Amino acid sequence: MFDVVIIGAGPAGSSTAREIARSGWRVVLLERGAYPGQRNVCGGSIEGTDAEEMGLTDDLIHKRIVRREHYFPWGVTTVTSPHVTTLRRELDRWLAEQAVAAGAELFTRTQARAVIRETTGRVAVTVTDLATHREITYHTHLVVFADGPNTLAPRSGNLGFVRAPTTTAVGLIYELDWSNTPLDHYEVHLGARFSPWGYIWVFPKRDLLNVGITILPSRGGSRLIEARLQAFIESRPDLRERPIVRRAGAHIPVVPAARIHDDSMLAVGDAAGMVEALTEAGIAKGVVGGRLAGQVACEALAAGDLSAAFLSRYQSRWQATSRYRMIRFQSRITRALLPFSRLDGNFYAKVMQVMFLGGQLSRWQKLRLLAYPILKLHTTRNT
């Protein structure tokens, strides 16, 4: 029997496991892939301060980004801002290895099928060993759902992210072969011709380019997501001839889960909606959420109290963070402003410029921006 079973060995799950294992509790990570990170879909961009806080080593950092180039229908804005890029399959393995080094066990090719709270107060987690197709049931005091936006949490208890067209974006990435990529910046392309509510990105790695797109299905266009990304790549002479070495798609939460704890259960990372609705950034949020979940799990195990009332301190601590407040703010902004994008296909791009780069614009420029293309606006800004 394990003290804690964690479903999913992504950044959130591994961070939770490491925290619990360091305190001496028996914890297992269940990962359906052949290794952590094998199945992820992610651009792999992390803010410089978050990379430092996570302790990323030089071998994990593929590129140190010196500037961001934002391409709007009305012009280009360049921002100097420290970021790094990494490959998620490398990052996830590294985080899982840290958890294992702390004492956690890792079972790969293991798919969780059902989580049932037993009358004894314990929880039964039924899994399939994908290598042997054998069904196994693990019993535990606490289950942590770190299994992404398609989480088992809502079916197992009163917690977790609930996927729906209004709560979930669709993402698609291509990895293009480019040995010794010379690019030292990343690009974000916004506007109606790319995505009605979303964007296309170009993130350089050492020997790859990660080119991806996000679209909100409730806004329309998700059926054309691959055609839009392919058209973008074909429009670029520097990209169109490069071999595609990987293609992957996934859902992305854009609404935080209303509840991330229940009796003997916690939800972290994408399974808890720990993703910003506008930028769709979630790596560092999942790591921080995982650490908090691990700390509260240890406190609950030590107290012998796995009730929802005790575990609610996890949700309280998470909601007290600036990261949660940003997630909640962006979710509310999206809900309030999304209807306007049906009248103006460039409205998302305008929101992004005003919210994240608006300090560079005068009041008159902001008014012209909102009225574009009725009032023409051209900005080429550097900060």
210 to each of 224, 225, 254, 376, 382, how far by Cα in Å?
19, 16, 21, 33, 24
pLDDT for residue 383 is more than 70: no
Q: Reduced to 3 states, what is the DSSP secondary structure of residue 273?
A: coil
Higher pLDDT, 328 or 375: 328
Q: What is the pLDDT of residues 94-117, one digit of tens each?
A: 999 999 999 999 999 999 999 999
Per the listing, tokens 């720990």 go with: 274
Query: Which residue blocks in the chain are alpha helix, DSSP H?
Result: 11-22, 48-54, 88-102, 153-156, 225-234, 283-303, 308-319, 322-337, 347-357, 363-371
Q: ω into residue 154 within 30 of 0, thus cis?
A: no
How far apart CA 197 and CA 168 sit, in angstroms, is 12
Nearest to 274 by CA among 298, 250, 290: 290
pLDDT for residue 342 is more than 90: no
Total residues found in the chain within this entry: 383
84 to each of 15, 122, 322, how far by Cα in Å?
20, 42, 21
What are residue 287's phi and psi, to 5 degrees?
-65, -45
| Residues 210 and 156 sit within 8 Å (Cβ to Cβ) | no
Higher pLDDT, 1 or 256: 256
How far apart CA 282 and CA 287 sit, in angstroms, is 9
Any idea where the domains of the chain sit in the sequence?
1-44+87-163+255-345
Angle at 45 between CA 41 and CA 51, to 5 degrees: 120
Overall CATH class of domain 1-44+87-163+255-345: alpha beta
Query: Quick one: pLDDT at residue 343?
Result: 86
Query: Quick one: pLDDT at residue 179?
Result: 94
pLDDT for residue 378 is more than 60: no
How far apart CA 151 and CA 350 sit, in angstroms, is 33
Query: Quick one: pLDDT at residue 145?
Result: 98
Query: Which residue blocks in 112-255 are alpha helix, DSSP H?
Result: 153-156, 225-234
Q: Reduced to 3 states, what is the DSSP secondary structure of residue 211?
A: strand
> What mean pLDDT comes out for the span 170-192?
94
Q: What is the pLDDT of residues 136-160, one digit of tens each?
A: 999 999 999 999 999 999 999 999 9
Q: Which amino acid is at 329?
A: F
